[in-house]
Amino acid sequence: MTGATANRARYIDQLARREPEIWEQVAVHILRWQPNDYARAVGLLTDLHDLAVRRGKRAKFQMELAKIRQTHAAKESLLASTCQGKLVGRLIVTTSKQSSRTAHCDAGVTQNLPTLPKLT
């Protein structure tokens, strides 16, 4: 194990003691509607993901992440941020003939976005 890997493992182990607090911090950052706060939230989510993998609870993490993505489906910047790295995958936004938009990641997670007014 390299020094960086060992340090990351220690950090994740310490994070386990504060997991509920970290989830709360994610929520606070998301509610601020600022790209820098979204980046902080995604950084914390990445840490929580690594903790879940370490504990063998990745499915539970994915369910919590799906709830966050559904609750904040109108925040395209946040959705795009959660699709980065190993959390979900790449964000794809499609528009149908009815002007409804769907954002999804290439990992199979789909979120419906608010319908946009038709352009005239």
pLDDT tens-digit series, residues 54-85: 999 999 999 999 999 999 988 888 888 888 75
The model's pLDDT over 84-100, given as tens digits with 9 standing for 90+, comes to 756 774 444 444 554 44
Percentage of residues in the chain having pLDDT higher than 90: 43
Residue 6: pLDDT band (50, 70, 90) is: confident
State the DSSP string of 43-110.
HHHHHHHHHHHHHT-HHHHHHHHHHHHHHTTT-HHHHHHHTSTTSS--EEEEE-TT--EEEEETTS-E
Q: Is 56 exposed, middle or buried (0-12, 13-18, 19+ CB in 10 A)?
A: exposed
